[in-house]
Amino acid sequence: MSMPFYVSPEQVMADKAEFARKGIARGKSIVALEHQGGVLMMAENATTLNKIGEIYDRLAYCGVGKFSEFDQLRKVGVRFADTTGYAYSREDVRGRSLANAFSQVIGDVFTQQIKPLELEIIVAEVGDDRYEDHKSNSLYRIKYDGFISDHPGFVAIGGNVEEVESVLKNDYRDGMPAGEAAQLGRRALSAGAERSSELDAGSLEVCLLDRQRTGRKFCRLSADEVQGMLDGS
């Protein structure tokens, strides 16, 4: 009788992590940053396959890596949020519980399946001025192994994330106007894309969680609106 090869758990995990990291690093970056009027999410993405999407009234989702995998996970999130909101109330759908649920799913796949999910995601939540204890925004980052962290101010995932983060770290300040946040986001993404010139509005996918809106806070900006925002109008 032949014995299966013994592979240490450390080795299995390290191999899976290496595999997932490679897949994610091949893609382009996404940044999410807080500003005066809510949260801005920006991706380098000139295609019609969206990387940023709406989950619920105050929640948005960004994913990098393998499109089919992170888009499927987005749908799982929408189903989770809509079901929770229907069973309880719309105010009961919160970012932290959604981010934890995502972390659970991604972590389970990482430990139980042969192939881990090649993705990394952001869950962004905009604060609610009506409730004293829900006023602040939240940005959660969840990695391919289910590791979850929260990031006050800004967060970046995918591609050359170190370059992108270093620009954000240097120039981010609390309470920036939306236009300034958009310019900073573009500068950070351009640094990550290793380009000599800055990315133009047409190659950016930009979405907002706008505090001022009633009901659903999520909105997707057209190329013209993005240009307007970058020009500071």
Cβ proximity to another protein, 85 vs 179, nearer residue: 85
Q: Which is nearer to another protein, 108 or 231 (CB)?
A: 108
Q: How far is the CB of 197 from another protein (least distance, A)?
A: 30
- Identity of the residue, 50 or 160, whose beta carbon is nearer to another protein in the bound complex: 50
Phi, psi of 16 (to 5 degrees): -65, -45
Cβ 55 to another protein, closest distance in Å? 7
- Smallest distance from another protein to CB 83, Å: 6
The closest alpha carbon to 66, from 158, 190, 199, 147, belongs to 158
Binding residues vs another protein (CB under 8 A) = 50, 53-55, 75-80, 82-83, 85-87, 101-102, 104-105, 108-109, 216
Q: Which is nearer to another protein, 25 or 78 (CB)?
A: 78
Q: How far is the CB of 187 from another protein (least distance, A)?
A: 29
What single-letter amino acid sits at 48? T
